[in-house]
Structure 1
Amino acid sequence: MPDTPLPRDELRATVEARRELGPEYESALTEAFLDRIETTIAQRVKAEADSRLPDPRHSTWAEQQERKRHLGLALGSLGIAIPLTGAASFSAGLSGLVIVWTGIVAVNVAYALGQRRRR
């Protein structure tokens, strides 16, 4: 966790400053205190999240290759879908579109299910 003062210490310091400066500074002191608390909470949440989540810069070669395969399938599906959609709609109409898109969806679902089984 980041080295930040405990909220109690911050609150004590804020109350003491209010006593010294008077009630006309109460709003500014309260806002400053709440900003420090918010910053402390954000730092702690970030530190906790960073400790639990893997750093993508340290991914393994296999993970990088798997991401490339996923991207390749997605781009390949779109690349083949565009001309097939045009050809199917021109020659076979709606039934051709349904067949083309059913095939594209089936390929992607089969790939996703295969990936899930491998894990």
Structure 2
Amino acid sequence: MQQERDVRDELRATIDARRDLGPDYEAALVDSLADRLDATITARVEAELKRRGKEVKRKEDNPRSIVPIVLGSMAIGIPLTAIASQAGTVGLLVAWLSIVLINIAAAGALMRRP
């Protein structure tokens, strides 16, 4: 019940701050409150899972995430395309084929990892 009281106090404080600061700060106050609520909900879920004896696995703990590799490939691919386009179609094919092969190799390595 203490957590519910804390959430209510946070909401009241946010509303009071909005009154004091005005509408210019409304978006920042809403974002801040949403972050605090998200943290509170996450803590409650983790506590309940722990109480039930279940392992809590966070998304960022997942070693199999390929998202950084894919985003990195796209970030490198944009300037690489500009550079490779100077060599024509063959340059573009070599550059993007290399990126595709690197992504396939990385995905395969992540799949094989325990």
TM-score by length of 1: 0.44
Bigger radius of gyration among the two? 1
